[in-house]
A and B are shown apart, each in its own frame.
Chain A
């Protein structure tokens, strides 16, 4: 495929190396991917459930709103039944956004990141739920696999892996939020089906300016874009994000002097729906858990 070759010319990783990485990740996550796919099916399918619609002469359930006219019309207006109509044309768009910043390699999270990309993308492909996109972020934001392109073989995976060498010198999650909201908005504008949009962020979770990010996460929620954050935690036990603290300075209300404050880093983490994963085997369960929580909250909202 000439076009793909051209596009991947700037990729930091050689295709052969990327193929080897993909093969390893695919092998390590094969069974987990089928398991995750089944779990996601159970979670997402009920949201595709059919609706009862009126007005029919026969059907499954009475449409109570029609009963009065039915009696008043001396039983002539008899389209009083509801039927289960065809499944709604709901489509999912799922974007996997992967942190390509250098802190990922500093905390030895890269293998877990590769495995996570393979696991989640394979599971979602098996699910055949709609479009799948992969986005790389760090200093810049780059769509390395767009929604409208099929994800069907090892070559797709390898070409995606070519873009990840975890050397970027920034972790711009604000820009990621802004750009992905825009991508989702554009996709919605050109789609005529009922679109559900979900973003799964895979990152070590280390980012600045939690307040601003939190505002963007709220905006996404208002636009019905689901954001789920998977924190890939390093394998070094002495640098877990769970133990990490954050130093900040708050002005004293009386004197205005800046006072030092030390809080648990995760206490101000801007994403509502997040899980911390230290082992690839934990990912399917954690991801299902957080998605279930998300959907149940959406349903009760």
Chain B
């Protein structure tokens, strides 16, 4: 199995007031293949939301780079913007506003 091991340095931030969904802004080295779902999983992991019980249920998040909604993988974003994985991306996250069934598609 040949897997792409390319990774990129990112950090997360949110403008939401809810303190309970804030994670550290320390850098993270993540696979460039991640899309919204994978990134959401990472943020939830950092928040400690992995359990099945009601309080620690994963929250679906949306991601924005420079104010624009990320609809592709990080790799596609880099390619489209003429960037390489040497870049350091700052990712804003917000609670997802779209229905989960729709979110599953990207």
Name A residues whose Cβ lies closer than 8 Å to a Cβ of B.
Answer: 101-103, 106-107, 168-171, 206, 208-209, 238-241, 243-247, 249, 260, 262, 265
- Interface size class of chain B, counting residues whose CB lies under 8 Å from the partner chain: 20 to 34
Closest to A169 in B: B84
If A102-B87, A169-B84, A206-B9 touch, whether A262 touches B25 (CB-CB below 8 Å) is no
B residues near A241, Cβ cutoff 8 Å: 27
Contact assessment for A247 and B42 in the assembled complex, using a CB-CB cutoff below 8 Å: yes
**B17-56, CB under 8 A of A: which get 1 and which 0?**
0000000111111110010000001100110000000000
What is the distance, in angstroms, from B106's C-beta to the closest C-beta of chain A? 19
Contact assessment for A103 and B6 in the assembled complex, using a CB-CB cutoff below 8 Å: no
- Classify the secondary structure of A's interface with B: mixed
If A209-B5, A262-B45 touch, whether A102 touches B26 (CB-CB below 8 Å) is no
Closest to A212 in B: B5
Contact assessment for B42 and A208 in the assembled complex, using a CB-CB cutoff below 8 Å: no
Number of A-B contacts (CB under 8 A): 68
* 5 additional contacts (CB under 8 A) given A245-B27, A245-B29: A107-B88, A171-B86, A206-B29, A241-B27, A243-B26
Offer 10 A-B interface pairs, CB within 8 angstroms, sorted by A. Answer: A101-B86, A103-B9, A103-B87, A106-B86, A171-B86, A238-B26, A239-B9, A243-B26, A245-B27, A246-B28
B94 at the binding interface (Cβ < 8 Å) = no
Determine the distance from Cα of A156 to Cα of B86 in the docked complex, in whole angstroms.
Answer: 29
B14 at the binding interface (Cβ < 8 Å) = no
A residues near B31, Cβ cutoff 8 Å: 247, 249
What is the distance, in angstroms, from A69's C-beta to the closest C-beta of chain B? 64
B residues near A246, Cβ cutoff 8 Å: 7, 28-30
Contact assessment for B29 and A102 in the assembled complex, using a CB-CB cutoff below 8 Å: no
Contact assessment for A262 and B86 in the assembled complex, using a CB-CB cutoff below 8 Å: no
Closest to A138 in B: B86
